[in-house]
């Protein structure tokens, strides 16, 4: 497994992972069309994209936009390696904190273990956040339209 900088040849593969995990209608395309504002690292195995993390700077903070790992590659340390790159990026840019949002599906937080292993602290939960934000969106996580997933805010002080 290798970690590389974003290459546009992987855009469709990122889209596929995103749609498989979250369904149609996320803002991944908008992010990948405005790359000058984002830090993106990709995990590949034999030229196949197996994971990706995207972040951007916001004032004195680094905000993690998303981390996606193909299901068969989860629990193999890929998220840990990608997160390490983002933390280094935030430190190099003199950020005071790193912020992110995690999907909370019926009380199960998708990236809780990864975030807590890196010292992130849950700040607050926004109930039914995604359904209120995008009422026409069908969520593959909760299998509902509108989505009933909550959003949990996490922060790591550097």
Tell me: pLDDT of 133 over 70.
Answer: yes
Structure tokens at 125: 């939960």
Reported as a pLDDT band with limits 50, 70 and 90, residue 137 is confident
Is 80 exceeded by the pLDDT of residue 92? yes
Lowest-confidence range among 88-92, 103-107, 134-138? 103-107
Tell me if 26 sits within 8 A of 140, measured CB to CB. no
Domains of the chain: 2-157 (3.40.630.30)
- pLDDT tier for residue 24 given thresholds of 50, 70 and 90: low
Residue whose pair of structure tokens reads 């039914």 in the numeric block: 128
At 26, is the pLDDT very low, low, confident or very high (cuts 50, 70, 90)?
low
Write out the DSSP string of 105-126: ETTEETTHHHHHHTT-EEEEEE
Angle at 99 between CA 96 and CA 104, to 5 degrees: 160
pTM of the predicted model as reported, rounded to 2 decimal places: 0.84
């Amino acid at each position: 497994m290798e970690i590389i900088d974003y290459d546009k040849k992987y855009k469709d593969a990122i889209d596929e992972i995103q749609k498989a995990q979250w369904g149609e209608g996320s803002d991944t395309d908008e992010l990948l069309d405005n790359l000058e504002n984002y830090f993106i690292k990709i995990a590949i195995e034999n030229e196949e994209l197996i994971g990706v993390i995207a972040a951007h700077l916001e004032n004195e903070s680094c905000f993690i936009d998303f981390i996606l790992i193909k299901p068969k590659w989860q629990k193999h340390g890929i998220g840990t390696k990608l997160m390490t790159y983002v933390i280094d990026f935030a430190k190099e840019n003199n950020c005071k904190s790193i912020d992110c949002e995690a999907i909370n599906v019926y009380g199960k937080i998708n990236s809780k273990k990864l975030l807590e292993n890196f010292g992130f602290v849950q700040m607050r939960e926004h109930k039914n956040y995604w359904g209120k934000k995008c009422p026409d969106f069908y969520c593959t996580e909760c299998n509902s339209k509108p989505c009933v997933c909550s959003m949990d805010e996490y922060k790591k002080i550097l």
